[in-house]
Amino acid sequence: MKKSLKAGLLSGLIFPGLGHFVVGAYRRGTVLLLVTAAALWKIVSIAVARAMEVVAQINNGEIAPDIMSVQRAVENSTGGVDSRVGSYLLVVLLVCWVIGIVDSYRLGTELDKKALQVDGLADP
């Protein structure tokens, strides 16, 4: 399998930044991996905090423990600063994912071309 394809698939299907490790771009891969992990961590922590608020309301008897009441409570709990931060973090996550795929594929393509030139199979 070509390094470009392997790098693109790792960054696209597994986690952004992993493809960079295949092509030897360790710093770029580490930065992408850490930024993506931080964004994911914050998104999950916002979601868990909202869920815990709803659970506390159920435990206090403020919300009936049925699906419709819980759904309304979740819909009403969205908003404020956390909602905007979550939206921005989703954009950061998407951008990191796209950059990870495109950049690792591009770097892999360069390595594939160099390998062909060394083997004498391609023109410089």
What pTM was estimated for this model as a whole? 0.79
E strand or H helix at 105, and its extent? helix 80-119
Asked if 78 and 50 count as a contact pair (C-beta separation under 8 A), the reply is yes
pLDDT digits (tens, 9 = 90+) for 6-23: 999 999 999 999 999 999
Question: Residue 78: what pLDDT?
Answer: 67
Given a cut of 60, is residue 123 above it in pLDDT? no
Q: What is the tens place of the pLDDT at every residue in 30-46?
A: 999 999 999 999 999 98
Q: Where are the domains of the chain?
A: 27-109
- Greatest Cα pair distance, the chain, in angstroms, is 75
More confident site: 114 or 81: 114
Q: What is the end-to-end Cα distance of the chain in Å, rounded?
A: 22
- Tokens 């600063």 sit at which residue? 81
Which secondary structure element, helix H or strand E, spans residue 119, and what is its range? Answer: helix 80-119
pLDDT in tens, 43-91: 999 888 888 888 998 899 988 888 998 888 888 776 666 778 888 999 9
Cα separation, 10 vs 92, whole angstroms: 19
| Interacting residues of 60 by C-beta distance below 8 A, sequence separation 6+ | none
Residue 116's pLDDT is 80
